Structure 1
Amino acid sequence: MRNKNIDSPQNKPASFQYLIKQGNAPVPLSILDVATTGKGYSATEAINNSIEIAKLADQRGFARYWVAEHHAMPAVSTSSPAMLLSRLISETKQIRLGSGGMMLSNFPPLVIAEQFGMLQAMAPGRIDLGIGRAPGTNGLTAHALRRDLVGAEDFPAQVTELMHFLEDDFPEAHPYKDKVFAVPGLGQDRENGIPRSFNSPSLWLLGSSGYSAQLAGKLGLPFAFAAQLAPENLIAAFELYRKNFKPSDVLDKPHTIACFSVFAADNEEEAKIQTRSFSHSMLRMMSSQSYVIPSPEELKNYVYTDSEKYVLESWNEKIIKGTADQVVTRLNQFQKASGADEIMIASLGHSLNGMLHSTKLIADAYDMPTN
């Protein structure tokens, strides 16, 4: 983790970059995945599709492939990012793999440090550890996950503890000092009496509000903003992050990712049909129903109430959709307005083939390499 350049793909060969066509500097493009599991698809099918997207991203020069943690949601199958990432290590060659993110409220910091230390040991220099504050699920499931209230209620302290486990640098008076350490990790090197052989995964703080933005700045960590949830807060959050940023052993200056929901299709109508299914699933969740992504066929005759229309359209507006050129134009506009150092996309719809095709279309629109 002690890496001034945070293992940025900007320091890698040009094949890891795409060019913002309206800008002047290379800006990496990455992928966020939740193994979307639309109605009628199995988890096995969804995960196999995620593997294909990761392989495509690796071949086309995407910078990062992150997996989000969610629980008890039929529409997603990524309850364990570390397990999926361990499979993707063997399926890819150069792309950085990581979490977007691990929810620190659900796990003791030591468990996360060990899981991602294991991943880093298997794929040195390719692992990102993005952490978030929310549970990634509903309140009842959150209770089943952690059993008590430790975690989200003291997020800054949990982040600090995780950082100490990753770097094996608890202060002298701390009860864990030289007694509790993450394996694989730097503590293992120390105990085995060997020079430092282990570099911790690159740590990121994630969020969709000003709270995490300010904390990331104060800790001198890179910050990834979930614009797929709250695009209206993106610019303000980045401003807070930069205003509060303090140089650290991790970063000399602020570094940001902006993540967006997207869906590119061969025509605008197909993109609208696919994303309507996803927006309908969010409508269900907002109505305390099971989070299921219905097929477009199911929705053809659905009659919405005025309140349902309002919720549906509010989620529709958050998704950048259309032809690949339309999606790329909007991503470029957001990047220019926010000054994001990197862009991340999450293709969200019902069709597994459609999400894979969306990724291909966007890669083509950015003239990304095909080797």
Structure 2
Amino acid sequence: MKLSLLDLATIHEGETPRDSFARSVAMAQQAEKLGFERIWYAEHHNAPSIASSAPAVLIAHIAARTSSIRLGSGGVMLPNHSPLAVAEQFGALEEMYPGRIDLGLGRAPGTDGNTVRALRRTLDAAERFPQDVKELQGYLQGDSLVPGVRATPGHGTNVPLYILGSSLFGASLAGALGLPYAFASHFAPDLYEQAINVYRQKFVPSEQLEHPYVIAAANFIAADTREEAEAQKKIAMRERVRMIAGRQRSFTNDELDALIESGGADQILNMFRVLAVGVGDDVADYLTRFSAIARADEMMLTNYSPTTAQAARGLEIVAGAML
């Protein structure tokens, strides 16, 4: 089982984006030494606690400070961009760091409606997603679908594409195009079995991929004792609720705990129910069982330990148990 990481590039309370970027570099260097396959960064906008709004820039920064681990987007939200611009950005990355770059593509805007308009895109841009993927693929393969337009850099780099999804739409598209499929079960766990089945059923071999390839996402909190892991979980879930429910108002820790205990945050917490918690053997057992149910070829993990030191230790524990 290949293990990879999704780095949320979190900006903790009292930090700046610079602090987040430094932590992402350290995490990538540690993951490279431990044997993780790849790290992806997701495009989010107007999110005060997430610093990965420009995945291509962050990938370049981290690639320059690592040597072998694959780095990519998980994903670039294609409706926010022109396919040509994305091809040029990731073509440049591939030329700089050959054989290490992935391009995961998402259909959602990764933000709210006002921010979509601020990005100079339209709310119906997602309807063109299949055509935009094909246009982007053409630029990277050196077979442009737009006469007279060539991506430089990008032309002929064949940066591998991945379709990301949390619904059956992405599963069907990935299968029809013969591309790898990454399901966002780390925050949208309800449809993962059905979506992965649809992907495998609809898969058509392509130049990039001969057989279906599934990446399933999961969250984890690993610690030296179960008690410590549960304590970290309480803090992590409180912060998830704060991030989502706190967009309209601020909450104290006591108010968040009361909201969670009353069941008022169940809908939010259900998003993160694919969560392995405990010591190394506990986490390994959970992830092994989950990957079997999902029939995953690779697991992409999000580390929810709340501090930098705890996250680094958790990564060591998971690697020791599974790699």
TM-score by length of 2: 0.92
- Give the deviation of 1:245 after TM superposition: 0.6
Determine if the alignment matches structure 1 residue 42 to structure 2 residue 16. yes
Which shows bigger deviation, 231-240 or 328-337? 231-240
Determine if the alignment matches structure 1 residue 104 to structure 2 residue 78. yes
User: Would the alpha carbon gap of residues 199 and 170 (structure 1) be closer, same or farther in structure 2, given more than 3 Å must change?
Assistant: closer
Counterpart-to-counterpart distance in 2, 1:159 and 1:308? 39
- Give the deviation of 1:288 after TM superposition: 6.4
Determine if the alignment matches structure 1 residue 342 to structure 2 residue 311. no
**3-state SS, counterpart of residue 52 of structure 1:** helix
Question: What one-letter code is carried by the residue in structure 2 that aligns with 1:184?
Answer: P
**3-state SS, counterpart of residue 308 of structure 1:** coil
Instruction: Note if contact 2:42-2:74 (Cα within 8 Å) is conserved in structure 1.
Output: yes
Count of aligned residue pairs for this structure pair: 322
Aligned to 2:172: 214
Answer 1 or 2: higher relative contact order, Cα 8 Å, separation at least 6. Answer: 1
Counterpart-to-counterpart distance in 2, 1:143 and 1:274? 38
Aligned to 2:199: 241
**3-state SS, counterpart of residue 303 of structure 1:** helix
- Give the deviation of 1:216 after TM superposition: 0.2
Question: What one-letter code is carried by the residue in structure 2 that aligns with 1:254?
Answer: P
Counterpart-to-counterpart distance in 2, 1:33 and 1:56? 13
Determine if the alignment matches structure 1 residue 185 to structure 2 residue 154. yes
- Give the deviation of 1:104 after TM superposition: 0.5
Aligned to 1:304: 259
Question: What one-letter code is carried by the residue in structure 2 that aligns with 1:28?
Answer: K
- Give the deviation of 1:183 after TM superposition: 1.3
Instruction: Note if contact 1:66-1:100 (Cα within 8 Å) is conserved in structure 2.
Output: yes
Aligned to 1:69: 43
Which shows bigger deviation, 298-307 or 262-271? 298-307
Structure 2 stretches lacking a partner, 5+ long: none
**3-state SS, counterpart of residue 119 of structure 1:** helix
Counterpart-to-counterpart distance in 2, 1:253 and 1:324? 32
| Of 313, 316, 323, the match for 2:279 | 323
- Give the deviation of 1:284 after TM superposition: 4.0
Determine if the alignment matches structure 1 residue 160 to structure 2 residue 160. no
Aligned to 1:361: 317
Counterpart-to-counterpart distance in 1, 2:297 and 2:54? 28
Aligned to 2:227: 269
**3-state SS, counterpart of residue 102 of structure 2:** strand
| Of 91, 97, 103, the match for 2:65 | 91
RMSD between aligned alpha carbons? 2.3
Identity in percent: 39
**3-state SS, counterpart of residue 259 of structure 2:** coil
For the pair shown, the structure with the greater C-alpha radius of gyration is: 1
Instruction: Note if contact 1:36-1:348 (Cα within 8 Å) is conserved in structure 2.
Output: no
Aligned to 1:189: none
TM-score by length of 1: 0.81
Determine if the alignment matches structure 1 residue 122 to structure 2 residue 96. yes
Structure 1 stretches lacking a partner, 5+ long: 1-26, 187-197
